[in-house]
Structure formats: C-alpha cells, structure tokens
Amino acid sequence: MNWTGFDTWIVIIGALCAAACALPGCFLVLRKMSMMGDAISHAVLPGLAIAFLVTGARASVAMFIGAAIAGVLTALFTQWITRFGNVDRGAAMGIVFTTLFAIGLLLIRQAADHVDLDPGCVLYGALELTPLDTVTLGGIAIPRAALVNGIVLLLNLGIIGLLYKELKLTSFDPDLADTLGYSSQFLHYLLMTMVAVTTVAAFESVGSIIVIAMLIVPPATALLLTHDLLKMLLISVAAAVLAAVCGHIGALIVPGWFGFESTTTSGMIALASGLIFALAWLFGPHEGIVTKWRREAAIVPEPAPITNNSTT
C-alpha cells in the first residue's frame, strides 16, 4: 500500500461527509424515515440537470441550489400525496422519487448531445478525484470538497445543537410537541431541508452512495448500542468516521486480493459501514447476538436456587 497526502485528504473528506450525514440520519432512523435519504439522493437529479442546463457548468452554486430545491420538493410532494391521497408514506416516497429521477434522466439524455453530464458521474461521484480540485484559504490549498462538507457538518452540528430538545421531542412524540407549542411540521421540514442540503453537498463532491449509506447505517449501528439519543449521535458519528477510514484503506488493499486494479472508495466505505454494523449486531454489549448467547449459556447450566437476590 502506498499512502500519500492525497490519501489523507480522501480520508478526511470521506470522514467529514460521513459525519455530516450521520447526524441528521439519526433523526431519520428514529422517525422511521430511513428511506428518505435514498429517495432524496435520486430525486435531486432533475434539479441538477436543470441547473446544469441553465448555467452550463458543473459544480456551480446554481447546481447546489437546484438540487436542494428538488430535495425539499421531494419531501413536500411525499407529504402531500400521503396526506391528501391517504397513501402509505413509503409508497408516496417511491412514486415521487422514481418520477423525479425519470424526469432527470430524460432531461440529461435530451441534452446529452451538447453537454457533458453523465448520470453515472452524478450518482457515484469520484471521491478519489476530489483532492485535485482545491481552493486556497489563508494561504493553504484545501480541497473544495473538504471545505463544502466541513461547512455542512458545522451547519448540521449547529442546528442540532440549537434545536436538540425540539428535535428529540418531535422525533419521539410529535403530538405532545404540538400540544406544547413546538411545531412538529416545521421541524419535519427543517430536518428534510437539512437532509437535502447535506445530500446535495456530499453528492456533488463524493457521490450518492456514501450519502445513502451514511444516513442509515451508522445511526442503525448506534441504535443497537445505546438507548440514549446523545450517545446515539456520538456513536453514529464515530462509526461513520471509522467507516470512512477503513473504507479507503479497503479500497487500496481489497482489489489486489482478487487481482483487480482498483475500485471506488465510496462503495468500500458503504461496505465498511456494513461490517461495523455487523460487529455491533454480533457483539454489542447489551443486544449483540453473540453476547446474548453467551449470557444465556452462562445462566442456563446453573439450576441452583438463587440465594441472595435482595440487591437486585
């Protein structure tokens, strides 16, 4: 393995992006809306396409805005169809994002003759190439992706820090929140906007796979390990960062095992997060499968009556 400064930047960008996604992801998982990340990351395609057709440049601010609008619209349309049509939310989400994705594909295909915008590029991103695109900040050259994802991470941290109590309340008991005067509707859309902005920021720089995986898998891992929201947030960020580090190392090593040349870091980060989840699932201190087996095995062979149970 040949580690360079390039690799360090890739890991930093991956970790920033993963952490930025894991934070709002915790609330999505708690609200039983895990699939929203997937839906939004597909549905932003028409937003990207329209902004691209209008401005004619990749990675512009317009593209970011277009995608964020498309993302918020996904949440809005899903809500409308669910409410007015009396439709299951999963189904509503499925209809909205597939339709938007199809419109995006059509737009891109129509424009394919005279512009260079590949849906594959948008969907997978190229984390490996991000360090090449730098901006100079205070005399130091920083990859633009690191800057963007860092800002999004800070933004998410700030919003969750400020509205921690409100987000917690609306996630667990929206009706109580409404009666206490906190608008669960408003917080729902705020969260959706957060997810959309995070998705798009990550999307545009590192591709959607990381986003979809990091919104769900680290929070799910954390949920297996703790029952406390604050701990859950911390654990999921830690799991996300760990996945980013292991993922990139994996991307450098694993293809060699099978005699291939290279692979995508994003895919390997998703795989790494899955493996971390599997570890938590097997060996979690309270609910791990193996832990439970061992606990049961330790209890069963002792038929002797319990004598001193006064302490428990």
Partner 1 sequence: MPDLREIVEVLLLQNYNTRLVVLSTTLLGIAAGLVGSFLLLRKRSLMGDALSHATLPGVAIAFAAMVALGGSGKSLPGLLLGATLSGIAGVATMLVIRHTTRLRDDVAMGFVLSVFFGVGVASLRMVQSMPGASAAGLESFIYGKTASMVHADFLLISIVAGLSSLTCLVFLKEFLLLCFDDGFAASQGWPTLFLDILLLTLVTAVTVIGLQSVGLILVIAFLITPPTAARFWTQRLVPMLLIAALIGGMSGWLGASLSALTPQLPAGAVIVIVAAALFLLSMLFAPVRGVIPRRVQQGRLRRKVDRQHLLRAAYEILEVQAGDGPVVNEPFPLADLLAKRSWSPLQLRRILRIARHEDHLEIAAPGLIRLSESGYGEASRATRNHRLWETYLIQYADIAPSHVDRDADMVEHILGAKLVRQLETYLSDHDLAHRVPPSPHPLEPSARP
Under the binding rule (CB under 8 A), the answer on residue 133 touching partner 1 is no
Residue 145 to residue 151: CA distance in whole angstroms: 10
Q: What is the largest CA-CA distance in the chain?
A: 82
Tokens of 245: 């580090």
Which of 4, 5, 84, 305 touches partner 1 (CB under 8 A)?
84
First to last CA, the chain: 53
- Helix boundaries (H) for 86-207: 89-111, 119-124, 144-162, 164-172, 174-179, 184-206
The smaller minimum CB distance to partner 1, of residues 131 and 218, is found at 218
Under the binding rule (CB under 8 A), the answer on residue 267 touching partner 1 is yes
Under the binding rule (CB under 8 A), the answer on residue 119 touching partner 1 is yes
The smaller minimum CB distance to partner 1, of residues 86 and 136, is found at 86
Query: What is the Rg, in whole angstroms, of the alpha carbon atoms belonging to the chain?
Result: 22
Least distance to partner 1, CB of residue 291, Å: 12
Which of 34, 134, 183, 193 touches partner 1 (CB under 8 A)?
34
Under the binding rule (CB under 8 A), the answer on residue 124 touching partner 1 is yes
Residue 128 to residue 130: CA distance in whole angstroms: 6
Interface mask toward partner 1 for 86-105; x: CB under 8 A = xxx-xxxxxx--xx-xxx-x
**What does the H/E/C string look like for 25-38?**
HHHHHHCCCCCHHH
Per the listing, tokens 């917080």 go with 187
Least distance to partner 1, CB of residue 86, Å: 7
Under the binding rule (CB under 8 A), the answer on residue 274 touching partner 1 is yes
Contacts of 194 (CB under 8 A, 6+ apart): 24, 155, 156, 159
Interface mask toward partner 1 for 211-240; x: CB under 8 A = -xx-xxx--x--xx----------------
Which of 24, 37, 47, 71 touches partner 1 (CB under 8 A)?
37
Q: Which of residues 279-308 bind partner 1 (CB under 8 A)?
A: 281, 287, 289
The smaller minimum CB distance to partner 1, of residues 57 and 173, is found at 173
Residue 214 to residue 99: CA distance in whole angstroms: 24
Contacts of 35 (CB under 8 A, 6+ apart): 90, 93
Least distance to partner 1, CB of residue 195, Å: 13
Residue 262 to residue 249: CA distance in whole angstroms: 12
Under the binding rule (CB under 8 A), the answer on residue 159 touching partner 1 is no
Residues within the interface to partner 1 (CB under 8 A) = 29, 32-35, 37-38, 42, 81, 84-88, 90-95, 98-99, 101-103, 105-106, 109-110, 119-120, 123-124, 209, 212-213, 215-217, 220, 223-224, 251, 255, 258, 260-264, 266-271, 273-274, 277, 281, 287, 289
